[in-house]
Amino acid sequence: MNQKSMNQKSMNQKSINTIPMVDVQAWHRPIQAQLEKKALKVLRSGRFIMGKEVAFFEQEAADYLGARYAISCANGTDALILALQAAGIGPGDEVLTTGFTFFATAEAIMQSGATPVLVDIDSETFNIDPVELEGSITSRCRAVLLVHLFGLPAALSEIQAVCDRHGLILLEDCAQSFGASYHSRKTGNFGLLGAFSFFPSKNLGGFGDGGLVITNQLKAAEMVRKLRNHGSSSQYHHDCPGYNSRLDEIQAALLRVKLQHIEAFNAQRQQVAQWYREFLSGSEVLFPQHHHEHIFHQFTVVLPSGRDMVKKRLAEKGIASAIYYPLPLNKQRALAGIAVEHALPVCGQLSEHCLSLPIYPGMTRSQTETVARTLINVMDCQGSLYTQSAF
């Protein structure tokens, strides 16, 4: 075989075996022409901040989510901060939240001047455990900031009941759940305010950073609008200190295109998840069971042992994977001595055994099978490591 043939074989092998966590080109290919046309229109308009594209996107997002008000902002972390502050959360308050989530959830609580109270999770859903939640309430708690982790809605009925019994404000971190429903109602509508992220890998992923806050209360909506724009209710009139947290016109325009396809995108994620369940059935891998309201921002499995070695072996075979999250929040240095920490054994176990596999719209059945079969083969090669379930 000559050098040219060898190089071609190597390139073909690489293309076959390289499966990323998210392939945005495969995801966007069917709508690429729409995206480019919309981007060019904004570029030619000369209007890039707080124009009609933002206004249209906010209305369309509100309509889709079933909320009265939707207010865009610069990113998902700001959306959380704006929601907390619009709810009146501040210094001296404690906010209950899950111990297993991205740091921004707790960070936003701290940025609002409040103290996070970390609660353990349910071992099947990975969402906050309502029983643990009620047992973690202190006299200073004012709110619950729940997270719909990986695209699966939390146990909203039980959590709302806890909030009602103790007079707590319910807020929702929906960064990973755009389009997910709980009892046929979109997440973000159950609490006083719901916060979303449009980070590029999210279910409604943008082309940079972006965020959104929804609410059904006018007073809360007005406060979010002020806070995102320097505390201003009208130009050069400032009622309170705020932020420069506005969504760009070009981001809003492109998100409008993707919003038209969000149901199809989420359905494709659900299909990939179903393929994974099919191919992983009978293995030692613990994987998410079927849930018709789960929209699979991530497909996260639990391995009995040797997770880090498995991740390394997958990478060697051209298959990406990720650990969400390697540390529960109670182990984060930034929260040492700040958060109120209760026992979080399930969070600790999950952080040592979880592994997220590639999933995105446009991922094929063949790719899904390759990931699953390779994972099983890698585990079989590890052999004696897999002797005990993580949970």
192 and 324 in a single domain? The answer is no
Instruction: Tell me the mean pLDDT per 10 residues along the chain, length 391.
Output: 48 61 97 98 94 98 98 98 98 98 98 97 97 96 98 98 98 98 97 98 98 98 98 93 97 98 98 98 94 96 96 97 97 92 93 98 98 96 54 51
218 and 289 in a single domain? The answer is no
Last residue of a domain, one of 201, 232, 259: 259
Domain count, the chain: 2
Domain around 357: 262-382
pTM tops 0.95: no
SS3 38: helix
221 and 369 in a single domain? The answer is no
271 and 254 in a single domain? The answer is no
245 and 295 in a single domain? The answer is no
| Nearest one of 100, 151, 156, 125 to 391, comparing CA atoms | 125
220 and 267 in a single domain? The answer is no
Helix (H) or strand (E) holding 143: strand 141-147
Is residue 25 domain-resident?
no
* Angle ∠(326,191,336) on CA atoms, nearest 5: 35
Q: Cα–Cα distance between 302 and 354 in angstroms, integer?
A: 5
330 and 279 in a single domain? The answer is yes
267 and 249 in a single domain? The answer is no
Is residue 7 domain-resident?
no
Q: Cα–Cα distance between 109 and 93 in angstroms, integer?
A: 9
Last residue of a domain, one of 259, 278, 309: 259
CATH code, domain carrying 328: 3.90.1150.10
What was the pLDDT predicted at 258? Answer: 98
58 and 171 in a single domain? The answer is yes
Last residue of a domain, one of 237, 259, 281: 259
SS3 297: coil
Is residue 21 domain-resident?
no
Is residue 302 domain-resident?
yes
What was the pLDDT predicted at 383? Answer: 65
CATH code, domain carrying 132: 3.40.640.10
Scanning the structure block, which residue is given the tokens 């206004």? 55
Region of 151 (left: φ > 0; alpha: ψ -120 to 50; beta: rest) is left
What was the pLDDT predicted at 238? Answer: 95
138 and 55 in a single domain? The answer is yes
121 and 150 in a single domain? The answer is yes
